[in-house]
Amino acid sequence: MTDTDAGAAAPEADDAMALQGEGPGIRILAQFVRDLSFENPRAPETLRGGAAQPQIDLGVEMNARGRDDGFFEVDLKLSAKAQREDGPVFVVELVYGGVFQISGVQGEDVEAVLLIECPRYLFPFARRIIADVTSDGGYPPFLLDPIDFAAVYTARKAEANQQVGHA
């Protein structure tokens, strides 16, 4: 075989890339742990088997900000507090961030992309970190259920609009 076939495919690849450049696009430039905290205040007592399942309170926050270089930073903050009747079991808080390049999105839609789509990209990695840290803490891995970021965004927008209406 020769390398002559490779040159023939290049114009098609250029056409595909040109078409992609015309529509909306999200590019992840970096992902990182900004902050991670795990508290296991009553270990090893809470690690014994046979105890009742803890009540889990889950918190989800999304924040985004523009950068001087034209990119955007998005933070996904997840917190989980496990508690039984006799006290806390564990607390885990994670702020997982990403740097994104957004293209082909109209100004009024950028906020929704940053607070819905970008967290969707970050979530699987943040979920794995929380599962790993709870497992390292002596518990079964705490696997977060998928989060509907569109519903969270819509609820927060409605709440903010309601607060502005009452002010």
Number of domains in the chain: 1
What was the pLDDT predicted at 3? 43
CB 150 within 8 A of CB 162: no
Q: Which band of pLDDT confidence, cut at 50, 70 and 90, is reported for residue 8?
A: very low
Q: Judge whether residue 82 has pLDDT over 90.
A: yes
pLDDT for 17 equals 45
- For residue 56, what are the contacts with CB-CB under 8 A and spacing of at least 6? 80, 81, 82, 83, 142
pLDDT tens digit sequence for 28-53: 999 999 999 999 999 998 887 777 88
Q: Which residues form the domain of 31? A: 22-158
Question: Could you give phi then psi for residue 51, rounded to 5 degrees?
Answer: -80, 160
Is the residue at 139 inside a domain? yes
Answer whether residue 55 is part of any domain: yes
Is a pLDDT exceeding 60 seen at residue 21?
Answer: no
Any idea what the CATH number is for the domain that residue 142 is in? Answer: 3.10.420.10
Whether residue 98 has pLDDT greater than 90: yes
Residue 45 lies in a domain: yes
pTM of the model: 0.80
